[in-house]
Amino acid sequence: MPQLAPVNWLLLFFLFWFAVGLVSTVIWWSFKTDYKIQGVSPSKILETSSTNQKAWNW
């Protein structure tokens, strides 16, 4: 089995941690809770968004 040069070991090291960080970020983003405005009823939000602005599904 051929030996890897030190530069290749560094590239593999950073590639591994980049993949770990990317997967953990995607998992965190998929389970992230949606923030809601407290003290305002949902019906008022819908009335305001439908009359003045386009409603966005975040």
Q: Would 16 be classed as within a structural domain?
A: yes
Which residue segment(s) compose the domain that 12 sits in?
A: 1-31
Q: Would 17 be classed as within a structural domain?
A: yes
Would the pTM of this model clear 0.75, i.e. be above it? no
Nearest Cα to Cα of residue 6 among 22, 14, 21, 20: 14
Q: Would 46 be classed as within a structural domain?
A: no
Number of domains in the chain: 1
DSSP 1-58: -PPPPHHHHHHHHHHHHHHHHHHHHHHHHHTPPPP--TTS-HHHHHHHHHHTS-----
Predicted local distance difference test score (pLDDT) of residue 39: 63
Q: Would 23 be classed as within a structural domain?
A: yes
Predicted local distance difference test score (pLDDT) of residue 4: 78
CB atoms within 10 A of CB 7: 8
Q: Would 2 be classed as within a structural domain?
A: yes
Kindly report, residue by residue over 7-47, the tens digit of the pLDDT.
889 999 999 999 999 999 999 888 877 766 666 555 555 55
Q: Would 40 be classed as within a structural domain?
A: no
Q: Would 26 be classed as within a structural domain?
A: yes
